[in-house]
Structures are given as structure tokens and as C-alpha cells.
Amino acid sequence: MLQGVHPDLILVVSRGLLYSPYDFVITEGVRNLERQAKLVADGFSKTMDSRHLVQLDGYGRAIDIMAVGDLNNDHMVDHQDKSLTWDRGIYSFIAGGMKKASVELGIPICWGGDFKSKDGQPFFDGPHFELL
């Protein structure tokens, strides 16, 4: 899932995983125009100018993740954890680890949980991280 993703973002994600209190997997890196258009049409993305698309330097500059594992910390991976897979709070904790890695490495990132829509309203995309 990291093929074609900018090496700086791979560094941040790799270190961010070490700092995250929750395990996660990469669900998407580079997208093609057709996939991006479908996500916009289906309401899952707000822009055709996505950082998931290959940029001028030849790399995608965004990834999406999914929290996995023992998300409720009961020492078992079960159906209760599955219900927490998209919990906003979990992504806030993961973002903390990613932001710490970003600062340590001197590689600025943006978390989708900090997004604002064009009208200034919050737009939460917790699984999304991109290079600035």
C-alpha cells in the first residue's frame, strides 16, 4: 500500500506507529484519477485535488490508515474491537503519535482530523495523513 508514496511520509508513518498506542494498517496510498473521482462522487472525498494522486515529484503524498488489534485494551482481539475500528478518539491518539514522529523527523504533516471544509466547518477524516 506504500508503493509510490513519498519516502518522507513513509518515514513519519513508520515512526508514528512506534508512538501510537494503537496498531494500524495502511489501507490506501496512491490513487488514480478514476478512483478519486469515484470517492468524490460517493461523498467519501471532497476534492479531485487529492494528495493521494501522484504529484509533480512522482509521488503520492497521502495515506489512509485503519486501526486494528486490541482497541479496547481487554487483552483480546474480538468483535468489540471491530466496533471501535472507526472510533474518532482512537484516531486522535494515533494522530498524536504521528505528529510526534513528524516533529522529531522535521517532516511536516497534516492530519485529516484537523481538516476544515471550504465554509470553515470541521471536516473529520481521521484515517488520513498527508505531507505538507
Do 115 and 123 contact (CB within 8 A), yes or no? yes
CATH of domain 7-131: 3.30.1380
In tens, the pLDDT along 54-107 reads: 999 999 999 999 999 999 999 999 999 998 998 999 999 999 999 999 999 999
Quote the pTM value: 0.92
* Residue 94 CB partners (closer than 8 Å, separation 6+): 16, 20, 21, 22, 24, 65, 67
Do 19 and 100 contact (CB within 8 A), yes or no? yes
In tens, the pLDDT along 114-131 reads: 987 777 777 889 999 999
